[in-house]
Structure 1
Amino acid sequence: MSGATTTTSPFRALRDQLDAAAQAFADAPDAVSEILSGMVDDVDRALAERLEIFPVCHHSPASALAMARRLREKRPKVVYLELCEDLRDLLPELRNCRLPVALQAFASDLDGFSPGAGPLSVVAPITEASAEYQAIAYALDTPGVELVLVDRSVDHVFQWDPAYSGDPDERPAEGAGDDDGDGAAMHGGAVGIEIGDLRPRFAELEEHLLHHGKVRHWSEWWDQYVEQPLAGADYDTYRQVMVMIGSLFRRLSPARAERIAVDEDRERYMWTRIREHLAATGTDPAEGMYVCGAFHAASRVEEFGVQPRSEGFEITPRTATTWLYGLIPSSHAAIEAQFGLAGGSVSISAATWRKHVSAGGVAPFRLKGQKGTPAGKAGRNSRAAAATVGPAPVADRLSGFLASPPTMDPLDEAELLGWCVDIVRLARRNGYPASTADAIAVYETSVLLAGMRNRARPTPYDFQDAAVTCIEKDTVPGRRDVRRLCEILLGGDRIGEVGYDALPPLARDVYDRLEALGVDLKKRRVQRVLMDLREQPELEPCSRLLWRLRRLLPQGAVRPITGALGLGERSIQESWDLSIGHHQRALIELGYEGVTVEQVLEQRLRAAAWDPKAGAAAALEAVEESILLLDNRRLTDELGRRAVELLAAERAVDDAPEVLRRFRRLLGHYRATEPRLPAWCASFVTTGFAHYCTMLPTSFATEETGIRQVAAMLGFLLTLENTALALGCERTQLELAVKQSHPEEPAKVALLWAAQTRLGVLSRAELRARCAELLGNPLVVPAFPHYLSGFVQALSPVPGLAPFVVEVMSDAFARLPDRVLLPWLPMLITTLREHAREMVPVLLREAGRTFPARLPELDAWTPPWARPEGEPAVAASPAVAVPAGPLTDLLTAHPASSDAVARLLGVEPVWPAVEADVSAPAHPEAAALLERHPAPAAALAALLAAPPLGA
């Protein structure tokens, strides 16, 4: 509890003034007086603490400017920083990066959290225009200065969050707030940690401030009423104002027990760590500085201060979860999206920081060797003061600050003129018909808007509104509107970069292995790579690595333009578009999963196959990827055995089409490349044959099972029948499964008829008769498209049925009258598109072979199925004598096969007389052809152990 301000306090007069104002103007003077006087007490308490408390707001240029000035003045020997204590080892790696970047902790294997809560990730963004970076740069590059992180560990962040330690259904959605563009998605679904989240937690208060401040969002209010006035203020004024604001927002926060409890536990945690360090090192509190958010600077917990009024705070142990730490690129847009800031606000803060630094008002701290540091700026941190400055007497600066109006800075007017000229130039480059008159209009409108909003000077937000009003007319000629051009002008979305030395081993390995390509992978732009693997075989390892990265990295990081990788397919020339630098965060997070890309890929494939929701199709996909991307036969066989297990355990056939498609491809690959099938592949055939035979009758009868699934089951059974029989399966099992199937849906009935035809249970003549009966029944005709969809689906298991399907469809179009056919057509088209879209091309090819190719031939053409019985497709030649021989004897002794082939081609078989001896060939043209090319005939005769014809 905070005590009342004493009579010797420098804030006594301000407290009395606020009490009098509350009594005069407030409806409930006691409550208002308690809030106002409590704010003064909080300021007095924070400033009276022996350990200097430095209140900050995240990514605030005013906080960064005040921090740089105070560090050069005080030169503290120890800096306590509000940041997760287990991120300390990452801080020296910041010098190898280009800001902004984010410190990250990542865990996928969780121990001690609720099931389904992982993976867990925390990020703490760091920008140059932030007070924490100034403190870090000062402490790391100044000899004799110690930097201590005192906030709760990453493990405690999730321990104290009920969403992760309780019900997993209450967990925040992954990637929430990341829909604002590519840069905004750089943090993914990570939990954000920043110093000084200073924003009203009382919605009505924020709405009141925005309304009376005549601003659109909180970032604009903060820039106008806090950032700009405090940017040039002295340290005492800055410190008192920030603590007052933190106290105001804290006292007006809603009484949410969970949020308040977490905040207070954080404050107890930090003060406990500070006292432990002071006791362990013997450091004088006057020689230290505690950097925390202004909200926590106004803390009222009993553990507050180096001499608290309580016995201490017990810190719970961490869980057994293993956390991985690293740096990832960040951006202004990512920070804005994750912490609910207005678009462009961080860029405006960075522009404000650069403006004050360039004006010479402060010398900032920068890490030695920091990427992006201007030449000649490094090494300025080493200048030491003669002696450490102790705490100065506290004086009331709040009264003067609150009573004085803001002043117009001439530098801002010059800056506004420069903005107006530059935005017109930028608009012209992007297709806008802007002129010098527009620059004048933007300037005047900016001043006018600032006056209408009671601002002493135009802000960047006033400038944006004025530019949109004066330059953007009816349409946007290019990709960028004027508001986006203003953001680019004010600094744009700056994106950071993690240096090579700060990358995990996997990322460095990728850079090293792709160095032979001759491109700078750290660049964010898309780079085209051309590879001729025949002329440059040394690039083959690079090609294989790129295909693996394509599987692991997000879409667009590695994109093949030409070239393919498939089973039995390998291109010798490839071209790639590489944007690995743009997706550096994803590459870094791969390093949390393994040391090499191959190790991570193997883990991913195993995880996909052993996922609780995985089916046989997912395991077969993992098998195919292991063959293509990894030269690891052991892993492939392991994944294949897993596919067999999953297929045997399936109780539904929803994935049957995918299983059939993938296994056919794998089977063809093994038959073409290996002398015998792998053991798992043979087991998959036998297991699938038995499994689908068992499931077939139920699938035919169940309405929930679609026609495509049943067709895929039949495709597996009928197309792999020979292989299954060779491996020991029995054909009787398939025949019994077909006999036990009794479908009711028209499509499944047609599919069953096709299967019976394939097995010889139903002849082609009987099938033709059944279809004719359906067309002759007016009650069945409206449902005939469903029968057709079943026949078309049957082309996969029974490809020889294609001529019959063409016959049935042609017969239907010929017999049905227009009054029946016209309402029937839309249903036919939609049914085929829904249930048999992949088989329609097969049907069209067969129709192209059946029908005449030219229109004049159509009038005289008679379809094979419409010819009178006994009439051949073409004029039959007169019976001729055929020379006797072994081939003739074989055909005449077994005429059934030849008769079947003839009828399939629409020709009635007519057997000519066989003569033992002839002097002239029956077909002179054929004889002449054989004389010119005797080799094929001789080879065929040798194969049949017969003398060549004409010998």
Structure 2
Amino acid sequence: MRTQENAAPAGAPGPFGALREQLRAAADAFAGAGGGVPGILSGMVDDVGRALGEALEIFPVCHHSPASALAMVRRLAEKQPKVIYLELCEDLRPLVDELRNCRLPVALQAFATEIDGFPAEQAPLSVVAPISEASAEYQAIAYALDTPGVELVLVDRSSDHVFQWAATEPSGPAPAAEEAPRDEAGLHGDAVGVEIGDLRPRFAELEEYLLHHGKVRHWSEWWDQYVEQPLVGADYDTYRQVMVMIGSLFRRLRPERDARHARDEDRERHMWTRMREHLAASGADPAQCLYVCGAFHAASRVEQFGLATPAEPYEITPRTATRWMYGLIPSSHSAIEAQFGLAPGSVSIAAATWTKALKQSGATPFRLRSGSGAGGTGPARRPARSGRKRSAAAGPAPGGPAPATDRLSGFLATPPEPDDLDESELLGWCVDIVRLARRNGYAASTVDAIAVFETAVLLAGMRGRRRPTAYDFEDAAVTCIEKDTVPGRRDVRRLCEILLGGDRVGTVGYDALPPLARDVLDRLAPLGLNLGARTNQRALLDLDADPELRPCSDLLWILRRLLGDVARPIMGTRRLGERSIQESWGLAIGRNQRAIVELGYEGVTVEQVLEQRLRREAWAPEATAATALEAVEEALLYLGGRRLGDGLGTRAVELLAAERTVDGAPRVLRQMRRLLAHYRATEEGLPRWCEAFVTAGYAHYCTLLPTAFVAEDSEVRQVAAMLGFLFGMESFALSLGCDHTQLELAVRQSHPEAPDKVALLWAAKSQLGLMSTAELRARCDELLANPLVVPSFPRYLSGFVQALEPVPALAPFVVELLSKAFGRLPDSVLLPWLPRLITALRGEARELVPVLVREAGRTFPAALSAVDSWVPPWATSAAAPRPVTAPAPAGPVAELLAARPATCDAVAGLLGLGGEWRAAGPAPGGAGHPEAGALLARHPETAGAVAELLTFRPAG
């Protein structure tokens, strides 16, 4: 929709005709008659005349501007309007009444977690509107709420429309003209910020030009020097005309086809439509009304501008089905600066300027009377008064239309009256900054204070001002005190911010908190702490001596789970089957009030919020069986009962059956072991989902085992966890109907190539009886004896260490293998491998190290003196061969052996005695083979049993 230009012609008579002609002539001389400069300058004058001639008085403001706030105080005291239309999201109106229970700055917030009508990836949606005392909107709010018969109407689009209109832009969602980029670190989180009066050039070239010629570093300093200071003492007509002119300038210099242009105009159409609707419904007199908006919108040129326009009302689209929740959250000067792109310290300097301006002018600001809850804004408001007697220059009579007098010409033509140097103020700053710097580790002295004073005066002179500002003082302090090092946590610029007012942080009062936050404070009241303090609070809970503190302990553990460092346990733990006798907590509830307030948007109690989050995590698209089991454990720890745990456990069974990888096997094993131990110790029987999980897991891991052994992306730790699940829960699984043959087949079908997985497979076979310990030892000895395999032997050893998870009985063998490796591996292999072994044990097998240490303690001698004579037990297991004894006399045994030579050959082969044992013929006593004779002599019982067996069986 195209806008219509309703401004008067350039040559039309009026109060600004002379100024218009003067500016046009200057523009023609500067840029030529054919350029766009004359049209811009004359258009600015037309916008001022149009705004001042409107029947509904428009009050242009700039956000967090002391000049705007002071002008608002004066105008409200003079005009005393009955209706105030405020540029703020209309759905935030119920929150405004709660400001009386807060200590500013705070922010009005609209929050939505369950969205309907917006892309799912944008959730959660959050909009904040910060309010500080040194702002014109707060003065208007305080006046309207505490003055009988005054109505406050918010006319800007709703929070829902903020995201609706952002989504319709060609470039996608982006902050609006008065919406700031998202701030990840401040108190406002990632909310979209809405403020009144974002007066800043809309393109970089103009801002760079103004900063360069103004000899300032950033926009906040330029605005303070060239707008704030001249307007603080100006009369109301001058203030209003100058603000509209600045808004018109920035509006007309905005690049064409700006992405935010259509949305700005839609906001203006929305506000004028809402105001006309309210006037028609209430019958209010426009002369008794005041429209407070940003100076940028005061110079609007949309066709709906004004009450007398013939344009049709703007059609406002309906809201989506998104369920919005509203509340107040703490804000701070630094959060406002970060979210709206202001220079650090600028809001604190504005607050200091506001305090000084009030003292100089004698005006009394409007303040909301405190409510019954804690955290009120201060004492009751006194009737606002202007510190000066009203005169012709002070503005029109209350309620009357603004006279069309030209104040711009005099303001633009007359240089501002220079302020003399306030030596007492600057000296106080210099002395205080040196004292503060010394407390923070700087080697500052009186000489530095003198240097800061002189440097501030010098910088102010270089920048064209006689009186040093707070920005000059900051630069001088950094130059003279900080030099090139920062000894503590705070640099000098931060110390200057603290000196000038600090990063003031607001607090939401008890009555303005959501039900969840109030419930948290009520349930923690037995601790007897000041939970609203921004300092860390220490709580000591003796749960045996004071059983009534157990509910506080339960609540603190839930807060720890939901909010992290808000509640930090110093002493005490909470695990399945464990309860602490005493607990010590570090609490930062007052400092993290915003997090608790936003938690209240998710539920009425913290238990409800935790249950919702556990369900959301278990049913998330990326959820795994380990995630669901962890949710079951947390449900048992923090919420108790089996209803929620059973539902989450059933979900874990479904997720396990759908998994195609073994990445979560270690977590599944640990969590399932803990859960089974808990249920067996505290319940009469295991839940049905546990049985289903064990049977499904047994079949699932047996199926995946051969693939996991050979897959390159599966780690040995994961395969070991699978075997640990299969071996550790096999008896339970077999009792539920599983088949042991399935596990044996899975192991037999596994053919890994990686050394660590080969070692893990050997350990599994030894557990199943498919490989004896002697064969396992022989294979490892062969590896150590093979020079081609020795460089990779540490990987075999790592696999055996990981095998302690599924086969803990292998610990003596692993200690033996480690001892042999340390004794036989060359230094070129052993030394590079040791760091990797330590790192692997620490990162992947931390719980297996105590097993090895205990086994080593049982194996190695306890005293140093016994080391020399100590013989390893694995060295004595293979006993030395006994000496050969004389052959036994001839008898029936020798005759039997001679009669059955084939059987004797087979037995001799099994015993490792190859060749012809009867090479010399069957001599008496079996002298044909000395080894055979010695064997028969040592084991006569065995030979007799064989003879008896062969005697009673038929031949052949």
State whether TM-score is above 0.5: yes
Equivalent in the alignment of 1:486: 496
Are 2:553 and 1:538 aligned?
no
> Which protein shows a greater Rg?
2
Equivalent in the alignment of 2:16: 11
One-letter code aligned to 1:278: L
Query: Percent identity between the aligned chains?
Result: 72
1:732 deviates by 0.9
Question: 427, 432, 435: which one pairs with 2:437?
Answer: 427
Deviations 1:525-581 (A, max 9, x none): 11111111111111111111111111112x221111111111111011111111111
Equivalent in the alignment of 1:559: 568
1:848 deviates by 3.1
CA spacing shift, 1:80–1:457, aligned 2, 3 Å: same
Are 2:38 and 1:33 aligned?
yes
How far apart, in 1, do the equivalents of 2:250 and 2:173 lie? 31
Conserved? CA contact 1:750–1:787, under 8 Å = yes
1:164 deviates by 9.9
Equivalent in the alignment of 2:197: 196
Conserved? CA contact 2:669–2:721, under 8 Å = yes
1:851 deviates by 2.0
1:824 deviates by 5.1
Are 2:240 and 1:230 aligned?
no
Are 2:634 and 1:625 aligned?
yes
Conserved? CA contact 1:82–1:195, under 8 Å = yes
Are 2:67 and 1:62 aligned?
yes
How far apart, in 1, do the equivalents of 2:850 and 2:247 lie? 70
One-letter code aligned to 2:331: S
CA spacing shift, 1:599–1:151, aligned 2, 3 Å: same
Question: Once structures 1 and 2 are overlaid, which stretch shifts more, 149-158 or 821-830?
Answer: 821-830
Equivalent in the alignment of 2:312: 311
| SS of structure 2 residue aligned to 1:200 | coil
Kindly report which structure 2 residues correspond to 1:356-755, keeping only aligned pairs within 5 A, or say none. Answer: 356-369=357-370, 378-381=381-384, 388-410=398-420, 412-553=422-563, 555-755=564-764
Kindly report which structure 2 residues correspond to 1:811-826, keeping only aligned pairs within 5 A, or say none. Answer: 811-822=820-831, 825=834
One-letter code aligned to 1:842: V
Question: Once structures 1 and 2 are overlaid, which stretch shifts more, 667-676 or 85-94?
Answer: 667-676
1:629 deviates by 0.7
Question: Once structures 1 and 2 are overlaid, which stretch shifts more, 518-527 or 405-414?
Answer: 405-414
One-letter code aligned to 2:584: S
Equivalent in the alignment of 1:333: 334
Aligned length: 867
How far apart, in 1, do the equivalents of 2:724 and 2:207 lie? 65
Conserved? CA contact 1:107–1:323, under 8 Å = yes
Conserved? CA contact 1:617–1:658, under 8 Å = yes
1:841 deviates by 4.3
1:811 deviates by 1.8
1:779 deviates by 2.3
Conserved? CA contact 2:187–2:330, under 8 Å = yes
Question: Once structures 1 and 2 are overlaid, which stretch shifts more, 417-426 or 51-60?
Answer: 417-426
1:289 deviates by 1.0
1:706 deviates by 1.3
One-letter code aligned to 2:460: A
One-letter code aligned to 1:236: D
Equivalent in the alignment of 2:344: 343
CA spacing shift, 1:29–1:362, aligned 2, 3 Å: farther
Question: 96, 100, 109: which one pairs with 2:101?
Answer: 96
Equivalent in the alignment of 1:805: 814
One-letter code aligned to 2:167: P
| SS of structure 2 residue aligned to 1:343 | coil
How far apart, in 1, do the equivalents of 2:835 and 2:559 lie? 46
Conserved? CA contact 1:84–1:149, under 8 Å = yes
Question: 760, 764, 773: which one pairs with 2:782?
Answer: 773
Conserved? CA contact 2:421–2:466, under 8 Å = no
Kindly report which structure 2 residues correspond to 1:202-213, keeping only aligned pairs within 5 A, or say none. Answer: 202-213=203-214
How far apart, in 2, do the equivalents of 1:221 and 1:418 lie? 24
Equivalent in the alignment of 2:944: none
1:141 deviates by 1.1
How far apart, in 2, do the equivalents of 1:654 and 1:324 lie? 39
How far apart, in 2, do the equivalents of 1:672 and 1:101 lie? 50
Equivalent in the alignment of 2:942: none
Conserved? CA contact 1:786–1:831, under 8 Å = no
CA spacing shift, 1:850–1:163, aligned 2, 3 Å: farther
1:870 deviates by 3.1
Equivalent in the alignment of 2:292: 291
One-letter code aligned to 1:71: L
| SS of structure 2 residue aligned to 1:859 | coil
Deviations 1:578-611 (A, max 9, x none): 1111111111111111111211111111111111
How far apart, in 1, do the equivalents of 2:734 and 2:515 lie? 51
How far apart, in 2, do the equivalents of 1:341 and 1:692 lie? 58
1:99 deviates by 0.5
Deviations 1:497-529 (A, max 9, x none): 111111111111111111111112111111111
How far apart, in 1, do the equivalents of 2:623 and 2:714 lie? 19
Deviations 1:272-315 (A, max 9, x none): 11111111122222221111111111111111111224222111
How far apart, in 2, do the equivalents of 1:871 and 1:412 lie? 104
Conserved? CA contact 1:782–1:824, under 8 Å = no
1:167 deviates by 7.1
TM-score, L = length of structure 2: 0.87
CA spacing shift, 1:486–1:91, aligned 2, 3 Å: same
Conserved? CA contact 1:327–1:502, under 8 Å = yes
Conserved? CA contact 2:523–2:552, under 8 Å = yes
Deviations 1:411-443 (A, max 9, x none): 844322321222222223333333333322222
How far apart, in 2, do the equivalents of 1:321 and 1:822 lie? 63
TM-score, L = length of structure 1: 0.87
Question: 128, 131, 135: which one pairs with 2:133?
Answer: 128
How far apart, in 1, do the equivalents of 2:627 and 2:681 lie? 23
Conserved? CA contact 1:785–1:827, under 8 Å = no
Conserved? CA contact 2:370–2:377, under 8 Å = no
* Gap regions ≥5 residues in structure 2: 391-395, 882-956
1:867 deviates by 2.6
One-letter code aligned to 1:650: E
How far apart, in 2, do the equivalents of 1:406 and 1:382 lie? 26
Kindly report which structure 2 residues correspond to 1:71-220, keeping only aligned pairs within 5 A, or say none. Answer: 71-162=76-167, 178=183, 185-220=186-221
1:91 deviates by 0.8
Deviations 1:636-667 (A, max 9, x none): 11111111111111111111111111111111
One-letter code aligned to 1:577: G
How far apart, in 1, do the equivalents of 2:704 and 2:324 lie? 47
| SS of structure 2 residue aligned to 1:498 | coil
1:832 deviates by 5.3
Question: Once structures 1 and 2 are overlaid, which stretch shifts more, 672-681 or 685-694?
Answer: 672-681
CA spacing shift, 1:212–1:143, aligned 2, 3 Å: same
Conserved? CA contact 1:141–1:382, under 8 Å = no
Conserved? CA contact 1:328–1:585, under 8 Å = yes
How far apart, in 1, do the equivalents of 2:195 and 2:832 lie? 66
One-letter code aligned to 1:576: W
How far apart, in 2, do the equivalents of 1:166 and 1:670 lie? 55
One-letter code aligned to 2:791: P
Equivalent in the alignment of 1:24: 29
Equivalent in the alignment of 2:800: 791
One-letter code aligned to 1:705: S
How far apart, in 1, do the equivalents of 2:576 and 2:845 lie? 26
How far apart, in 2, do the equivalents of 1:32 and 1:176 lie? 32
One-letter code aligned to 1:651: R
One-letter code aligned to 1:710: V
Question: Once structures 1 and 2 are overlaid, which stretch shifts more, 664-673 or 127-136?
Answer: 664-673
* Gap regions ≥5 residues in structure 1: 873-951
